[in-house]
Amino acid sequence: MSRGFYTPIRFQEVYTIYMKDSIVRKLIEEEKKRQKSVINLIPSENYCSKDALEALGSVFDNKYAEGYPKARYYGGNQVIDKIETLAQERALKLFGLKKGVWHVNVQPWSGANANLAVYLGLVPVGGKIMGMSLTSGGHLSHGQKVSITGKAWQPVLFSVDGVTETLDYEKVKQLAIQEKPNIIVAGFTAYPRVVDFKKFREIADACGAYLLVDMSHIAGLIAGRAYPSPFPYADVVTTTTHKTLRGPRAAMIFSRIDERELNKKIDKALFPGLQGGPHVSQIAGVAVALKEADSPVFKKYAKQVVKNAQTLAKSLQKKGWKIISGGTDSHLLLVDTWMGGVKNENGVGGVPGKEAEAMLEKEGIICNKNTIPNESRSPFDPSGIRLGSPAETTRGKKEKDFEKIAERIDVILRGVKIKRK
């Protein structure tokens, strides 16, 4: 494994564990070593702080707290009410939202659950969910056929424009007017560009749909004012807490408080509709992360995340690699390593996404294979890879480091000797 061209300057290496179960302890140490030794370019991963991890492993995990603050199904929840309320207050403050205008539910165990709860609360089973297709960058929980969200509800999927590889809002609008979905999901797992949330509001209004923004990927950038906020336009906003937001694994649902009572419907749909008791230790960890994100240091971090991703995109582009949509405005980029791959001196290459992922991993660079717009291959062996900057920016990397990472990626992927037709 090639290492030595970077020094991780921020990580949880100081977090010594003393557990008696030597087998589990060893596996934790093994994973810690793996995480420290690689360059992590998975855009949905990050390193949450030692403080958040401490909250996650705290006595809060011993408590059952079905229900919501001051309305629980178990006794002994005085302290739990305080921590859940604190997390809610911090979440609203971080995104500049007024109490009484927005409500936030901090109980979802994960992002997929959060989206499912929104559909369950607002869309009758059999109704229509409109979201982006997987190959264009949508998430499974946005109505894809393999997910419950595409089985219990009818999916209406839109794609990015085949030429610009970006959203064509006019086409999305036409489809929405034709299909009349109950809810439109604006939010993506592999879309590198800024989304025009105002246009999505207009589209939702044109067909009478709710507008759900799933900001899971970009929540940290929004919190750090490095990406436009969806809150002025959305009815509901869901987010995971562990991606750019840099908290522990969990999710939140923000909903507008008005006569439609979206907040009450969604709360009921999540519990008792979908989940059992909340994972209170997760909520405590999220509360810690929300305070950390509400700081000038985090704002600097969010801006650096975008600068680093843009440097990575530009550096790879300079070397001849095709970057989907021509670049990025956020923390992630998609590289077409197959048809847009750099040819070697014999004119052969590029390399499919699955192979590119494996080649990079062998050299200590972790990323994931990804479908690209106009995908000509299969989701299991697609044409590209997805790269992101949040995790390595947490470790202190700047533009110069990302130029070096791009050089390394280029060398590794161009080293392919396999003959292709």
Whole-angstrom Cα distance, residue 249 to residue 350? 35
Interface with ligand PLP (CB under 6 A), residue from 217, 279, 322, 369: 217
- The one catalytic residue in 45, 66, 179, 410 is 66
Strand runs (DSSP E) across 317-408, as ranges?
322-323, 332-336, 365-366, 368-370, 384-388
Q: Which lies closer to ligand PLP via its Cβ, residue 8 or residue 155?
A: 155
Locus of tokens 């959305």:
234
Under DSSP, the state recorded for 203 is H
If one asks whether residue 187 binds ligand PLP (CB under 6 A), the answer comes out as yes
Give yes or no: 414 in active site: no
Interface with ligand PLP (CB under 6 A), residue from 144, 240, 282, 389: 240
Give yes or no: 64 in active site: yes
CB of 147 to ligand PLP, least distance (A): 10
- Which window, 160-168, 184-192, 261-269, 355-363, contacts ligand PLP (CB under 6 A)? 184-192
CB of 12 to ligand PLP, least distance (A): 21
**DSSP character string of 292-330:** HHSSHHHHHHHHHHHHHHHHHHHHHHHTTPEEGGGS-SS
**Phi, psi values for residue 368, rounded to 5°:** -130, 145
If one asks whether residue 328 binds ligand PLP (CB under 6 A), the answer comes out as no
Total residues binding ligand PLP (CB under 6 A): 14
CB of 407 to ligand PLP, least distance (A): 28
Residue list 110-169, contact with ligand PLP (CB under 6 A): 110-112, 139, 141
- The one catalytic residue in 135, 166, 189, 240 is 240
If one asks whether residue 322 binds ligand PLP (CB under 6 A), the answer comes out as no
Give yes or no: 386 in active site: no
Under DSSP, the state recorded for 123 is S
- Which window, 105-113, 195-203, 268-276, 396-404, contacts ligand PLP (CB under 6 A)? 105-113
**DSSP character string of 73-111:** SSS--HHHHHHHHHHHHHHHHHTT--BTTEEEE---SSH
If one asks whether residue 370 binds ligand PLP (CB under 6 A), the answer comes out as no
Give yes or no: 90 in active site: no
- Closest-CB residue for ligand PLP? 111
Whole-angstrom Cα distance, residue 79 to residue 72? 12
Burial class (CB in 10 A: 0-12, 13-18, 19+), 35: middle
Whole-angstrom Cα distance, residue 141 to residue 117? 11
- Which window, 16-24, 182-190, 227-235, 335-343, contacts ligand PLP (CB under 6 A)? 182-190
- Determine the distance from the C-alpha atom of residue 174 to the mean position of all C-alpha atoms in its chain, rounded to a whole number: 28
CB of 111 to ligand PLP, least distance (A): 2
Q: Is 355 helix (H, G, I), strand (E, B) or coil?
A: helix
**DSSP character string of 261-276:** -HHHHHHHHHTTTT--
Give yes or no: 63 in active site: no
Two tokens, residue 105: 């539910």
Nearest to 46 by CA among 213, 178, 252, 221: 221
Query: Which residues have a Cβ under 8 Å from the Cβ of 379 and sit 6 or more positions away?
Result: 134, 135, 371
CB of 308 to ligand PLP, least distance (A): 19
If one asks whether residue 189 binds ligand PLP (CB under 6 A), the answer comes out as yes
Give yes or no: 243 in active site: yes
- Determine the distance from the C-alpha atom of residue 409 to the mean position of all C-alpha atoms in its chain, rounded to a whole number: 23
Two tokens, residue 226: 């490095």
CB of 286 to ligand PLP, least distance (A): 12
- The one catalytic residue in 173, 243, 246, 386 is 243
CB of 339 to ligand PLP, least distance (A): 25
- The one catalytic residue in 165, 214, 355, 401 is 214
According to DSSP, the β-strands at 183-186 and 128-132 are parallel
CB of 386 to ligand PLP, least distance (A): 11
- The one catalytic residue in 64, 161, 307, 404 is 64
Q: Which lies closer to ligand PLP via its Cβ, residue 244 or residue 308?
A: 244
Residue list 11-50, contact with ligand PLP (CB under 6 A): 44
Radius of gyration of the chain (CA): 22
If one asks whether residue 183 binds ligand PLP (CB under 6 A), the answer comes out as no
The H-or-E segment that residue 68 falls in is strand 67-68
Write the interaction track for ligand PLP spanning residues 51-70; mark x where CB under 6 A is met and - where it is not: --------------------
Whole-angstrom Cα distance, residue 245 to residue 192? 17
- The one catalytic residue in 249, 319, 377, 404 is 249
- Give the binding site for ligand PLP (CB under 6 A): 44, 110-112, 139, 141, 187-189, 214, 216-217, 240, 251
Task: Catalogue the active-site residues.
Answer: 64, 66, 214, 240, 243, 249
